[in-house]
Amino acid sequence: MEPMSALGPASIALLFSVCALLILTSVMLAGTSDWAGVPVVLPFLALGLIAGGTGLRPLLYQDYEVCFDLGTLTLVLILFDGGLNTPLAQVQMAIWPAAVLATVGVVGTMSLFALCARLFHSSWTQAFLLGAIVSSTDAAAVFPILRGSGLQLRKRVVAVLELESGLNDPIAVTLTIALTASLSGQGPLTLATLAHIPIQLLLGAIVGAAVGYGGRWLMLRARPVAGGLYPLLTLAFALLGFGLPALAHGSGFLGAYVAAMVLGNGPMPCRGGILRVHDSLAWLGQVAMYLLLGLLAAPVELLKVAPQGIVLGLALALFARPLAVTLCVLAFRYPIREVAYLGWVGLRGAVPIILATYPILARVEGATIIFHVVFFVVLVNTFVPGATVRWLTRRLGLESQEPPAAPALLEVISTRVLKGAEIVSFSLGASAAACGAAISELPFPPDSAVILLIRGEEVIAPKGATVLAEGDHVYVLCQPTDRPFIRLIFGRSEAS
């Protein structure tokens, strides 16, 4: 017996079928960033617009409330995935410039953008609301381009961009909610309201860290009946990282990000499987939000605001973001080319889409216009900087000289945190002591051994007579205490 629904069985079947086709097409089109030079998210947006014209939009009834709820979940998943993949060394390297960009930079971008929006006869509050909605960057929109094209950015630049994108969303969310409340008649925006923002962030960070450490403790003691249940545990921690701080009137988004960083930098059973699941969830959320943006955008309204939206999108990409970043980062004495790169690579993605629905739910005057302006701002800031990221990286000389990651991953999957020997991977450079030597000639510690060798696209079983060459990816089994000595032989490990 088929389940009953308000849409009816036929409509549900059509909705599921179209959504499945959209997802399949989106995944297939993800490779367009390799050869077309456009951000990977643009095909998703185009598919949403096309699907909206084929009759799927009426099935959704332009339900912005569902879009906002789904967007909130999506943002939590994206932030949690980013936090899991943020090593502690990266935090230590870039925490202060990233924190300044995520706070002062967001406020500065919002203010400079509001000056531009004011030229289109918006009130100051509406202009600042629009600025708050588009003020935060989205690393999930830019790093697929870098990974897909084979470019490797210098670690300091990557660290700042990734940390900023994880830390700045809570600021943008808080400012958007406060400005929306002011426009909807719930009271003017006061200094007291703004002063509450640091308290929300601090509360979110503290509760998020507590959830992360609690998650560490539980995962080391839990005994699920199957390894596939571990990602469900971490998904629960992601929701708790958001929910508990939000219930305490703190920043749930920052809580989810901090909880993930604490979890990701500790011992974790089935680590590889957990990271892959959350990477897939983050991608699914990103795809869903771009499809929804295309579905909910009305073509007639888009045409009305197209000139305004395109001009404001360019103003954000060429003026507001670069100037705000420059003012924030110069104090850290970064080279001008790195400052220029950070200012340019400020792509907008899922976050503005989510935030643009909030004024509509609050019935703010002109909210529909704001939503459709955001459409163009996201489009322009995804396409204009995004299509030039690879060119600019090479032009400014910001490519890392490190070899690319190995084409294959070797890991031990276990439902327990194993102790003793560990697997470390190395990419041999010309200056490595092991380069040009046979494995039998290397002075290995007693409990160490080369267990796998990848040369190009070939997997080789290493023997004593195997001669290692530049560009080889070598996997070594060693004791943690012997790792410094192994690095003297093979160079810096790929995970460091």
pLDDT band at 3 (very low <50, low <70, confident <90, very high): very low
pLDDT band at 4 (very low <50, low <70, confident <90, very high): very low
Predicted TM-score (pTM) of the model is 0.80
- Structure confidence at residue 10 (pLDDT): 64
Average pLDDT of the residues in 259-277: 88
Mind listing the pLDDT tens digit for each residue in 431-482?
888 888 898 888 888 888 888 888 887 888 888 888 998 888 888 888 888 8
Percent of all residues in the chain with a pLDDT value above 70, rounded to a whole number: 80
Distances 33 to 27, 146, 383 between C-alpha atoms, Å: 12, 9, 11
Mind listing the pLDDT tens digit for each residue in 222-257?
877 777 788 999 999 999 999 999 999 888 988 999
Q: Is residue 496 pLDDT above 80, yes or no?
A: no
What dihedral angle (degrees, nearest 10) is formed by the CA atoms of 274, 280, 281, 283?
140
Fold type of domain 9-395:
Na+/H+ antiporter like fold (1.20.1530)
- Structure confidence at residue 53 (pLDDT): 59
Give the per-residue SS3 of the chain.
Answer: CCCCCCCCHHHHHHHHHHHHHHHHHHHHHCCHHHHCCCCCCHHHHHHHHHHHCCCHHHHHCCCHHHHHHHHHHHHHHHHHHHHHCCCHHHHHHHHHHHHHHHHHHHHHHHHHHHHHHHCCCCCHHHHHHHHHHCCCCCHHHCHHHHHHHCCCECHHHHHHHHHHHHHHHHHHHHHHHHHHHHHCCCCCCCHHHHHHHHHHHHHHHHHHHHHHHHHHHHHHHCCCCCHHHHHHHHHHHHHHHHHHHHHCCCCHHHHHHHHHHHHHCCCCCCHHHHHHHHHHHHHHHHHHHHHHHHHHCCHHHHHHHHHHHHHHHHHHHHHHHHHHHHHHHHHHCCCHHHHHHHHHCCCCCHHHHHHHHHHHHCCCCCHHHHHHHHHHHHHHHHHCCHHHHHHHHHHCCCECCCCCCCCCCCCCCCCCCCCCCEEEEEECCCCCCCCCCEHHHCCCCCCCEEEEEEECCEEECCCCCCECCCCCEEEEEECHHHHHHHHHHHCCECCC
pLDDT band at 407 (very low <50, low <70, confident <90, very high): low
Lowest mean pLDDT among 54-63, 71-80, 179-188: 54-63
Of how many residues is the chain composed?
496
Task: Select from 346, 342, 345, 364 the least CA-distant residue to 355.
Answer: 364
Query: Could you tell me where in the chain the CATH 3.30.70.1450 domains are found?
Result: 422-490
| pLDDT higher at 235 or 166 | 235
Say how far apart CA 97 and CA 463 lie, in whole Å. 47
Say how far apart CA 141 and CA 154 lie, in whole Å. 18
Say how far apart CA 494 and CA 472 lie, in whole Å. 12
Block residue for tokens 């080319």: 337
Average pLDDT of the residues in 323-332: 91
Q: Is residue 132 pLDDT above 90, yes or no?
A: yes
pLDDT band at 147 (very low <50, low <70, confident <90, very high): low
Fold type of domain 422-490:
Alpha-Beta Plaits (3.30.70)
Q: Is residue 201 pLDDT above 70, yes or no?
A: yes
Q: Is residue 209 pLDDT above 90, yes or no?
A: yes
* Pairing verdict, β 473-478 and 449-455: antiparallel
Cβ density class 207-236: b for 16+ within 10 Å, e for less? bbbbbbeebbeebeeeeeeeeeebbebbbe
Lowest mean pLDDT among 81-85, 156-160, 194-198: 194-198
Mind listing the pLDDT tens digit for each residue in 108-127?
999 999 999 998 877 888 89
Mind listing the pLDDT tens digit for each residue in 16-50?
776 777 677 766 766 555 544 455 666 667 766 77
Supply 184's token pair.
């909807």
Lowest mean pLDDT among 94-98, 153-157, 250-254, 306-310: 153-157
Are residues 110 and 161 in contact, defined by beta-carbon separation less than 8 angstroms?
no
